[in-house]
Structure 1
């Protein structure tokens, strides 16, 4: 199994080391923020507006393909902009851990699990790991955009779901 696990990490036959590793580089200068990845949420209510900048894989936003990313083998990695006073709605990833690492600004992160609630404020260089099956949401209380890294612990995560009583649980994605 270990051999199969790393099969895709092998240098392709006929490719130089430079050619191979160049496919595994995602440069900031070639990235752009994708405000459309979660547009269905912002269309419902502008307070849900946020943008994803993908580096490795497509994350869990529902974007099917992005040829401008490093292929994902075991996790996805992106940055997310959360504009001032906007929020990422309460949602759950049943299949995977999600990590938030704050680069700039701050967010209020709220979590619900088995009837208990927890919230905390994350500031620059703070990190939190949310286990699978635990609802999480975030809010930017500041007057400037918050910027964070988001890592999802699988190559292709399931699309997250919302609590049944949340209005976004009734909306069809485009």
Structure 2
């Protein structure tokens, strides 16, 4: 593959195109300053304004959320896995019907695999603009977002209505639901019983791993963070690996599915059969299936990188906490 072709599969952090109207809480005070990024795959945005950087099937989606301090993402759920790692800032993740079942604070490099089927939200509690990178299971990411009922009610009070077709309509712009399309039905009290109120021990013990613990585990060989044999034992339809300077190798290898490289710290040299490119923290590189490649640190200093590849497992509900 010539460098020009490979460059089309590399999304640079500085080239990310945000959408500020991606979800139903885009006008709700406290959530109205967030930016959503869809990097690989169709994502779960409810807005036609969402830009998709790489619209190729990988078996999973890659996205990101950027938020200023004190900005939060409202309570929602997914039918497939949702994994985050903190690229920049300090973040509070919370969960439960009202967001009060538990919470955990994540620092830069920390990762969380949120159990499928619980309401979850997150907030930037740092002092500067923060960014979290997201991996969603499946090519269609489970068909969209399931919102806690109060989120839909709050959004309507501020001019946004979510149609049963999964699209947003903004009354502030004179928009209304099209003929024959009703509003998205609210979950009933009986349906809400299917969304467990997991304890902090269940969520944190299962799905949170700290950056420097992963660094220690990846001293000699890459660390499998999420996978059937990972330090987070789960089968969400993809595996997440982690490597550092000490566990990187110049040996070329290939995968039978597309893989994704996401640097966390330092500068990395991605080399493939036909060229090379430098990756920086926040960049996302999609490597085609069957392409011989490797990644090694390009400079001295701390260097770490997340690696994602799809597996043959179905991208449905995984660990439920029960």
Question: In structure 1, which of residues 131, 142, 158 is the aligned counterpart of residue 115 of structure 2?
Answer: 131
Residue 109 (structure 2) pairs with residue 146 (structure 1): no
Deviation at 1:112, TM superposition (A): 1.6
Deviation at 1:24, TM superposition (A): 6.3
Question: In structure 2, which of residues 134, 146, 150 is the aligned counterpart of residue 161 of structure 1?
Answer: 146
Preserved contact between residue 41 and residue 139 of structure 2 (Cα < 8 Å): yes
Residue 68 (structure 2) pairs with residue 83 (structure 1): yes
Gaps of 5+ in 2: 163-167, 170-322
Residues 31 and 169 of structure 1, relative CA distance in 2, 3 Å threshold: closer
Residues 35-54 of structure 1 mapped to structure 2, 5 A cutoff:
35-38=20-23, 40-54=24-38
RMSD after superposition: 2.8
Could you tell me how far apart the structure 2 residues matched to 1:161 and 1:82 are? 21
Q: Which has the higher contact order (CA 8 A, sep 6+)?
A: 1
How does the TM-score come out when normalised to structure 2? 0.43
Residues 26 and 37 of structure 1, relative CA distance in 2, 3 Å threshold: farther
Residues 73 and 159 of structure 1, relative CA distance in 2, 3 Å threshold: same
In structure 2, the residue corresponding to 1:22 is in which secondary structure? helix
Could you tell me how far apart the structure 2 residues matched to 1:53 and 1:60 are? 10
Deviation at 1:63, TM superposition (A): 4.7
Residue 82 (structure 2) pairs with residue 98 (structure 1): yes
Gaps of 5+ in 1: 1-16
Larger Rg over CA atoms: 2
Residues 117 and 77 of structure 1, relative CA distance in 2, 3 Å threshold: same
How does the TM-score come out when normalised to structure 1? 0.75
Q: 1:101-134 deviations in whole A, cap 9, x for unaligned?
A: 0011111100127x98120001100110112211
Residues 126 and 110 of structure 1, relative CA distance in 2, 3 Å threshold: same
Residues 36-75 of structure 1 mapped to structure 2, 5 A cutoff:
36-38=21-23, 40-63=24-47, 66=51, 68-75=53-60
Aligned pairs, number: 155
Residues 2-41 of structure 1 mapped to structure 2, 5 A cutoff:
17-18=1-2, 22=6, 25-28=9-12, 29-38=14-23, 40-41=24-25
Deviation at 1:169, TM superposition (A): 7.0
Q: Which runs of 4+ in 1 moved over 4 A?
A: 63-67
In structure 2, the residue corresponding to 1:81 is in which secondary structure? strand
Preserved contact between residue 26 and residue 55 of structure 1 (Cα < 8 Å): no
Deviation at 1:168, TM superposition (A): 4.4
